[in-house]
Amino acid sequence: MILGICGSGRKEGNTGALVEEVLKAAGTESELVWLIDINLGYCTGCWRCVSEGKCWQEDGMTELYKKMIDCDAMVIGSPCYYGEVSGLVKSMMDRSIALGYMGFGKESETPMHGRKPLADKPAAVLSAVAGHGVEGALKTMEKFVNYGEMNFVGKLGAIAGMGDVRELDDVMSEARALGKKIREAMK
C-alpha cells in the first residue's frame, strides 16, 4: 500500500493533483491523507516520546503514525511556501520524530536519534510552486526521507505559475514517471 500525504489546504490545487497522479500511475493500492483534514498539532519538543515511547498528543497524527508504519511506500507532497514546505508538512515531519521512540524498527547508528521504523520504504517527494523556490521545499522533504533511512526514489518540482498543473502535460507525465518509479522500487 502506498501512502500519499498531501500538505496543501487546497483540495482542487496543484499539489493534490500531482500526488493523485503519482498514486494512480503506481497502479497499486494506495491511500491519500490530506493533512488539512486530520487535526494535526505541532511538535512541542517536550521529548516525552523518548521516555514514554509515544507522543502525548492524541490527534490526527495518532492514526497517521499507524498508516506510516503500515504502508509499503510513501509519497509526500507539499506546496512551496516561501521556498519551503507548508506548515502542515513541517508539522507532520516534526511530529514524526516520535516514530523513532516507539520501540521498534531499524536501529540508528547514533543511539540518541532513536530507531528507524520507516527504514527502506521507498519514498518520493514533490512540490508545486508558482515560480521560484521549489528546491528548498524538495530538499527539506528529502532530508526527512533520509533521516528516516527510507529509500529515496525521486522528486518532482512542478512550476505551474498561478495556473492548473493538470494542463501541463510534461509535468503530469513526470508525475506518472515518478509513480512508476516508486512502484518499481516496491518490488
Ligand X SMILES: Cc1cc2nc3c(=O)[nH]c(=O)nc-3n(C[C@H](O)[C@H](O)[C@H](O)COP(=O)(O)O)c2cc1C
Q: Which residues bind ligand X (CB under 6 A)?
A: 8, 10, 13-16, 79-83, 128-133, 160
Q: Which is nearer to ligand X, 80 or 182 (CB)?
A: 80
Question: Is the Cα dihedral 157, 159, 163, 169 positive or negative?
Answer: negative
Nearest approach, Cβ of 85 to ligand X (angstroms)? 11
Nearest approach, Cβ of 92 to ligand X (angstroms)? 15
Report residue 116 as a C-alpha cell. Answer: 528507524
166-185 as b/e: b if 16+ CB within 10 A: eebeebbebbeebbebbbeb
Alpha helices by DSSP H, listed for the chain, are: 14-26, 48-52, 60-70, 87-95, 134-147, 169-186
Nearest approach, Cβ of 82 to ligand X (angstroms)? 5
Q: Which is nearer to ligand X, 103 or 131 (CB)?
A: 131
Q: Which is nearer to ligand X, 72 or 135 (CB)?
A: 135
Q: Which is nearer to ligand X, 41 or 133 (CB)?
A: 133
Nearest approach, Cβ of 51 to ligand X (angstroms)? 36
Task: Determine the Cα–Cα distance for residues 167 and 158; give it in Å rounded to an integer.
Answer: 12
